[in-house]
Homo-oligomer: A and B are copies of this chain.
Amino acid sequence: MTIKDLAKETGYGVATVSRVLNNHPNVSEKARRCILEAVEKSGFQINENAKQLKQQKATSILVVVKGTSNEMFGSLVEAIQSRVSETDYPLFVDYIDEDANEVLRAVTLCREKKPLGILFLGGNSQNFLADFEKIEPPCVLVSNSASGLPFKNLSSVATDDRFAAKCAVDSLIELGHRKIAVVGGDRENSDTGRLRFEGCVDSCSEHKIDFDPEKDYCGVRFSYQDGYDATKKLLAENRDFTALFAVADVMAIGAIRALRDSGLRVPEDVSVIGFDGLRLGSFLVPKLSTVEQSVEAMAERSVDILLRCIEKNGPSVHETVPFRVHQRESTKPFKQ
């Protein structure tokens, strides 16, 4: 079933059918009704390939997700999808490995699909610096800031990772903790990891607390197992911390298990705070204290910004979304 068939059936020409389908002006009400009815009746579905071949531009929006194991990205995709579905743009979601190069992947996808815009879920500056210039459509980097990157078609929406991490550590210090260990991300290959690390340093130096990256910090991948292993390593090298900050909830969960396996109780012996605010956290025993990123706000802002860039040729912007530190059950005041 093509628009040709539709034309034949209704007695109109293909041009008129196309105009109706695309809500173009200069169509009589009669023709519009007649054609719409035929569309309804025949279950006609437009051939996107032909449409896009002709238009030299897809009508689609692309989402490149870096790392499937990041549960927060799952919620983010869900929220983005729900928001984009209010528009007419089809959404394509493409998953790549946590260690893959998201920018190169996007370059390929651009040539193949010519999307109207791209949403990057996760990404790292080095990759953008190296190859982003090859990408033409407007893009939004979600969950990392791109404010330091010199691209006029790249916006970003993120939590202020550095400050949020600082607040997390601050909260531990306010509870009376002085010996704090950190299960962090890779500082060299992950912006997020680096920023949150810097937040820890900020807090400790502001409070004149010793923090030795060699001994008190372990940078690994964002997974349960890595959180577990890193904590074991910290315990082996540095037995006496009373609080632990894991820069992702998944790591915090691994950390809690590792502490437990070493005979330490949470929060009685060691307080643990995570980062992300996964829904899961509030169902754990103990409920996980965490820095909650606003997934809804991130999704909403990033889609809005991208649409504004696409439809109104809006300027690129770099926004920050609010976060909240939740003290739940995995942290408690330190008492000597």
Show the binding face of A for B, using Cβ within 8 Å.
45-50, 52-53, 58, 68-69, 71, 74-75, 77-78, 81, 90, 92-95, 108, 111-114, 224-225, 228, 253-254, 256-257, 260, 279-280, 283-285, 287
Least CB distance from A318 to B in Å reads 27
Q: Would you call A47 and B112 a contact (CB within 8 A)? A: yes
Q: Kindly state the separation between the CA atoms of A75 and B49 in the bound complex, as whole angstroms.
A: 30
Q: List 17 A-B contacts (CB under 8 A).
A: A45-B108, A46-B112, A47-B53, A48-B112, A48-B113, A49-B53, A68-B77, A68-B81, A69-B78, A71-B74, A74-B74, A90-B112, A225-B279, A256-B283, A256-B285, A257-B285, A285-B285
Q: Would you call B95 and A77 a contact (CB within 8 A)? A: yes
- Which of B111, B260, B280 touches A253 (beta carbons < 8 Å)? B280
Contacts of A48 in B (CB 8 A): 49, 112-113
Q: Binding site of A, secondary structure by majority: helix, strand, loop or mixed? A: helix
Q: Would you call A95 and B81 a contact (CB within 8 A)? A: yes
- Which of B46, B53, B279, B284 touches A50 (beta carbons < 8 Å)? B53
Ranked nearest first, the 8 interchain pairs of A and B with the lowest CB-CB distance are A45-B111, A49-B53, A68-B78, A257-B283, A49-B49, A49-B52, A224-B283, A48-B112
Contacts of A71 in B (CB 8 A): 71, 74
| A48-B113, A77-B95, A224-B283 given; 15 more Cβ-contact pairs under 8 Å | A46-B112, A47-B112, A49-B53, A49-B113, A53-B53, A68-B74, A69-B74, A69-B78, A71-B74, A90-B112, A92-B92, A253-B283, A257-B283, A257-B284, A284-B284
Q: Kindly state the separation between the CA atoms of A52 and B52 in the bound complex, as whole angstroms.
A: 11
Known A-B contacts A257-B285, A279-B224; A78 and B52 likewise in contact (beta carbons under 8 Å): no
Q: Would you call A228 and B283 a contact (CB within 8 A)? A: yes
Q: Would you call A112 and B285 a contact (CB within 8 A)? A: no
Chain B: CB-nearest residue to A78:
B68
**Residue with the greatest number of chain B CB neighbours at <10 A, chosen from A49, A111, A224:** A49
Q: Kindly state the separation between the CA atoms of A285 and B329 in the bound complex, as whole angstroms.
A: 14
Chain B: CB-nearest residue to A70:
B74
